[in-house]
Amino acid sequence: MQICKVIGNVWATKKDDSLNGFKLLVVEPVDYSSHGLKSPAYVAVDVVGAGAGELVLVVQGSSARKVGGRMNKIP
Amino acid sequence: MQICKVIGNVWATKKDDSLNGFKLLVVEPVDYSSHGLKSPAYVAVDVVGAGAGELVLVVQGSSARKVGGRMNKIP
Amino acid sequence: MQICKVIGNVWATKKDDSLNGFKLLVVEPVDYSSHGLKSPAYVAVDVVGAGAGELVLVVQGSSARKVGGRMNKIP
Amino acid sequence: MQICKVIGNVWATKKDDSLNGFKLLVVEPVDYSSHGLKSPAYVAVDVVGAGAGELVLVVQGSSARKVGGRMNKIP
Amino acid sequence: MQICKVIGNVWATKKDDSLNGFKLLVVEPVDYSSHGLKSPAYVAVDVVGAGAGELVLVVQGSSARKVGGRMNKIP
């Protein structure tokens, strides 16, 4: 899991049906180590109702599909 | 998921049967954070009919096999 | 698996039910090679009762869900 | 999937039974973006009969086990 | 798969039951490309009886659980 800061939203003009009804956030990883390394922003599905500027915990890969019962069809 | 820009197509002279009938795109990740970090381009299967220069949302790993019912045999 | 140093804890104001009852640690990878490369810190679920400053072995991805019988619902 | 260039072969003096009968290639990712970033070489199982210097499409993770019917036991 | 050099062992004072009976190695990826890029060392389970200084092929993620019949409980 990564601690990320929400920096925006994504709207898609065309998308796979499995993503319908989900809000997509652009998130930027925050490095809490003493090195403060930078990582590229990516897109995450919002399951807690987060807004821009808030800190969120983001899971990736197959783990992401296990968060929230209704998400089993999310890529 | 990553926001990527389509920068080209891939044609293979020989390929695994599971990839037959799919269009392959060369995509380059776009970093929307304030750091604008660069990441190497990679190859993604096209399921929305994207063309060069367009921005697309790309999923990876086991998640990619869950996008679109017909894709369950895609690596 | 990575060797990491625990550098802190995480408290979430709102979280997915599957994470209830688990302690979350902020961990920083430690590189034991001669290069001493730095990697960004991330968040791991604590299953051994580690504290700040301790070295821990951290597994990621689908493997993390297999550690400890009670963890099969963890993302 | 990544576009890689085959740069060599691997011979193992001792190996897991699941790898018997497979040719292992050392491949180096090629970045077709305008940045031309370098990534470390790694080892891939050859399913198309590629030789040194050729460009190949490489899949990783659980996806790699789905390429070719006979590969279901490959790590 | 990555080609790595064994640079040491790991002893844990407390560990998950699923790791009992396995020897853990600290391995450092070796880049055979012309760029010779450095990657951080990590920890791998030893299934072939490797010693310090030896070169080994390391698999990661869900693939690692498929190497060797007795390893199906390894994270």
Q: How confident is the model at residue A12 (pLDDT cuts 50, 70, 90)?
A: confident
Cα separation, B35 vs A31, in Å, equals: 13
Q: Mean pLDDT of all residues in chain D?
A: 83
DSSP B2-64: EEEEEEEEE--SS--GGGTT--EEEEEE---STT------EEEE-SS---TT-EEEE--GGGG
Non-local (6+) Cβ contacts of E4 within 8 A are E27, E28, E29, E30, E44, E55, E56, E57, E58
Among candidates A12, A28, A62 on the partner chain, residue whose Cβ is nearest the Cβ of B57: A12
Buried b (16+ CB within 10 A) or exposed e, E6-15: beeebeeeeb
E16 and C63: CB-CB below 8 Å? Answer: no
Cα separation, E43 vs E28, in Å, equals: 9
Among candidates C33, C34, C59 on the partner chain, residue whose Cβ is nearest the Cβ of E75: C59
In chain B, % of residues over pLDDT 90: 47
DSSP code for E3 = E
What is the model's pLDDT at position A68?
Answer: 54
**Phi-psi category of residue D68: left, alpha or beta, with phi > 0 → left and psi -120 to 50 → alpha:** left
* ipTM of the shown complex: 0.79
* Lowest-pLDDT choice from B70-74, C30-34, D17-21, D55-59: B70-74
Angle at A45 between CA A39 and CA A47, to 5 degrees: 120
Residue B15 has pLDDT above 60, yes or no: yes
Tokens linked to C26: 């902020």
Cα separation, B6 vs B58, in Å, equals: 10
Cα separation, D72 vs B27, in Å, equals: 28
DSSP chain D: -EEEEEEEEE--SS--GGGTT--EEEEEE---STT------EEEE-SS---TT-EEEE--GGGGGGSSGGGTT--
The residue-averaged pLDDT of C8-22 equals 82
Please count the CA atoms within 13 angstroms of the CA of E8 that sit on its side-chain side. Answer: 11
Closest chain B CA to residue A63: B63
Tokens linked to D37: 């970033």
How far is CA A38 from its chain centroid?
A: 17
A32-74 pLDDT, tens digit each? 998 889 999 999 999 888 999 999 999 887 777 766 544 444 4
* pLDDT higher at D59 or A42: A42
Residue E6 has pLDDT above 60, yes or no: yes
Among candidates D40, D42, D65 on the partner chain, residue whose Cβ is nearest the Cβ of E1: D42
Residue B17: phi, psi to the nearest 5? -60, -30
Closest chain E CA to residue D58: E1
D32 and B8: CB-CB below 8 Å? Answer: yes
Neighbours of A26 (CB within 10 A): 21
Neighbours of D64 (CB within 10 A): 21
B28-43 pLDDT, tens digit each? 999 999 888 999 999 9
Interface of chain A toward chain B, CB-CB under 8 angstroms: 7-8, 10, 12, 14-16, 18, 24, 26, 28, 38-44, 61-62, 64-65, 73-75
Q: Hey, which bits of E1-75 come out as E strands?
A: 2-10, 24-29, 42-45, 55-58
pTM equals: 0.83
List the one residue out of B43, E17, B1, B9 whose CA is nearest residue D60. B43
What is the model's pLDDT at position B12?
Answer: 84
C43-71 pLDDT, tens digit each? 999 988 899 999 999 988 777 776 654 44
E14-37 pLDDT, tens digit each? 877 777 788 899 999 999 998 889
The residue-averaged pLDDT of D41-68 equals 85
Residue D75 has pLDDT above 70, yes or no: no
List the one residue out of B66, B67, B62, B47 whose CA is nearest residue B6. B47
Neighbours of E28 (CB within 10 A): 20
Order across the sheet with C55-58: list the strands: C42-45, C24-29, C2-10, C55-58
What is the model's pLDDT at position B32?
Answer: 92
DSSP code for C23 = -
Residue C72 has pLDDT above 50, yes or no: no
Neighbours of A32 (CB within 10 A): 17
**Which amino acid is it at B31?**
D
Q: Specify which residues C58 forms β-bridges with.
A: C2
State how beta strands B42-45 and D55-58 pair. Answer: unpaired
The residue-averaged pLDDT of B43-70 equals 81
